[in-house]
Structure 1
Amino acid sequence: MGRGVYTSEPLDEDIIIEVAPVVVMSAEDRIHLDKTLLHDYIFEWGDKGEVIMALGYAPVYNHSYTSNCEYEMDYEASTISIRTVRPIAAGEELFINYNGSWDDDKPLWFDAK
């Protein structure tokens, strides 16, 4: 899976772990980003084809279709928040679902056959 984020202490459900600022890039920029390693670390932003590079740890959370965290975009503040969706034990890896919703099981590009 590559990089990842882990908790060193137990976390309750519905705890905001991180609020990270983002750099918003245009749909035209995305064409170029998709040709680089940054493609694996950007998030879709809104409905105009824009993408973001989140600062902080947000880009290195690994994916799970049954993630223990979810992310939420704040378009006005230009931030992304990571929040727990269930209690998490100390030492456990923190996962987000790259589909956007923590329990969305639609196959992603790297699982699609």
Structure 2
Amino acid sequence: MISKDLIAASSRPLILSLLSKKESYGYEIIKNIQELSDSNIIWKDGMLYPVLKKLCENGLVESEWKTIDGRKRKYYKITALGLEALRTEKSQWKIVNTTLNNIWGCSLCSD
């Protein structure tokens, strides 16, 4: 089980990364993260939507209601400012990852 602190810290770059590929709605974001993490990261609505709201308030993400196949959903897409923030996030996470790998003595740790 991954700690809540680590999940909270990684939620912003994870969401921005997904939205940089394509626009998406909340449930789809939750399912994509679960699938990409091999079910090691499982988000609930109560965790995702406050982060999405803050990303929208900060101008990193935009939302729009759409009806597709008779279902009305709020879709989110990354903005130019969000792409810039994602580049910064990637750089910072790469530094953290490299530092941990150096401490642990591995280049691609599998443990």
For the aligned pair, the TM-score class normalised by the smaller chain equals: 0.3 to 0.5
TM-score where L is the length of structure 1: 0.32
Greater helix proportion? 2
Structure with the larger strand share: 1
Q: TM-score, normalised by structure 2?
A: 0.33
- Larger radius of gyration between Structure 1 and Structure 2: 2
